[in-house]
Amino acid sequence: MNNIEFKHLILTAKYFTKYEPIIDTKTDDIYAYEALSKFEIDNNLISTEDIFRHLHHNNKLFFELEKRNKQLQFESFTENKKLFLNFDADIFVSCEQQSYWELFLNNKKDDIVVEITENGSDDETSANIMRNFSSWLNNKNIETALDDFGQDGSMFSFYMMNGSKYIKIDKSFLRQIELNYNYMHYLKGILTTIRLNGQKSIIEGIETQRDYDLVKELGCDYMQGYFFEELMIIK
């Protein structure tokens, strides 16, 4: 499939958004939602992550996809809660892209949190792009969340961590604790650091009652995962 055909598909494909709840661990109330997207292409459902793998070296086409994607995510959301939107720093690199997203985000900054996601590369160029993106968001007073903290292959950066209001702890921590309970103490230390820094913690990957009970014991701020599937919204 060439780029022209692929562009036509992603701009005309049937689009679905799943709004996954982020739960307050103290009250079990819904604090916010995260928008997660899928597209139906040739009768197959694929995620934006799958599309990005195809667009990794096509910045302009990825930008066109995300313009449509984020607009629909925001317009379809009708809850009176904060909305977490995933953004890849690679679509903020040109002046055109920065101008577009500045206008888009400034009009919505009281209602959204930008989740900074990695593109899977840990080279210095990608690291600089992410740092510049984080700095740009902070200068615009737009709230941010550092996504997938602790995920295999992810980049650890004190700069990125310090610049985010929310730290989203990857589900790999819970899976590792299942194998070796000693990692519980490591996670407690991370959560303590987040709290002392005046930030908020979100543990992802809550899938079972055991996960739920464990996170309650840990005392983080928020939790998220398929355990709360009945509270999800699909549009």
Alpha carbon distance 84, 147 (integer Å): 10
* Contact yes or no for 43/23 (Cβ under 8 A): no
Q: How are beta strands 166-169 and 222-223 bridged, if at all?
A: unpaired
Instruction: Give the mean pLDDT of the chain.
Output: 87
Is the per-residue pLDDT at 235 higher than 80? yes
Question: pLDDT tens digits, residue range 87-103?
Answer: 988 888 899 999 999 99
- Asked if 73 contacts 85 with a C-beta cutoff of 8 angstroms, the reply is yes
The strand pair at 200-203 and 222-223 is best described as parallel
Return the structure tokens found at 133: 């993106």
In the chain, what are the domains? Answer: 3-234 (3.20.20.450)
Instruction: Give dist(CA 141, CA 7) in Å, integer.
Output: 33
Task: Please state, in angstroms and rounded to a whole number, the distance separating the CA atoms of residues 196 and 4.
Answer: 50
Q: What is the DSSP letter of 78?
A: -
Question: What confidence score (pLDDT) does residue 3 get?
Answer: 62
Q: What is the pLDDT of residues 130-147, one digit of tens each?
A: 889 999 999 999 999 999
Residue 159, number of CB atoms within 10 A of its CB = 12
- Rounded Cα–Cα distance for residues 177 and 172 (Å): 9
Tokens of 48: 């934006």
Mean pLDDT is lowest, of 51-55, 168-172, 199-203, for 51-55
| CA distance linking residue 197 with residue 188, whole number of Å | 14
